[in-house]
Amino acid sequence: MKSNKRFLLFITIIAVCMLTLGSFAYAKPPVLRMATTTSTDNTALLDYMAPI
C-alpha cells in the first residue's frame, strides 16, 4: 500500500511539472502597441524607440 502511494505521488508530481512547464512552450511574445504621429515615424524616432 505504501508503494502505491509513492507511485501516485510520483505520477502527480510529474503531471504537475509537465503541465506547468508545457504552458511556457506556447507563450506568445509580448506585443507593444504605440499610438504616434506621422512626424514620429518620419524622423525615425519610432524605429529608435521600438526596434523590431
Q: HEC string of the chain?
A: CHHHHHHHHHHHHHHHHHHHHHHHHCCCCCCCCCCCCHHHHHCCHHHHHCCC
Name residue, grid cell 500500500: 1
Residues 6 or more apart in contact with residue 50 via CB below 8 angstroms:
32, 34
Tell me the per-residue pLDDT of 14-43, one tens digit each, with 9 for 90 and over: 999 888 877 666 667 778 787 877 787 788
pTM to 2 decimal places: 0.43
Residue-level pLDDT at 45: 80
Confidence of residue 13 (pLDDT cuts 50, 70, 90): very high
32, 38, 41, 45 alpha-carbon torsion, rounded to 10°: -90
Whether the pLDDT of residue 12 is over 90: the answer is: yes
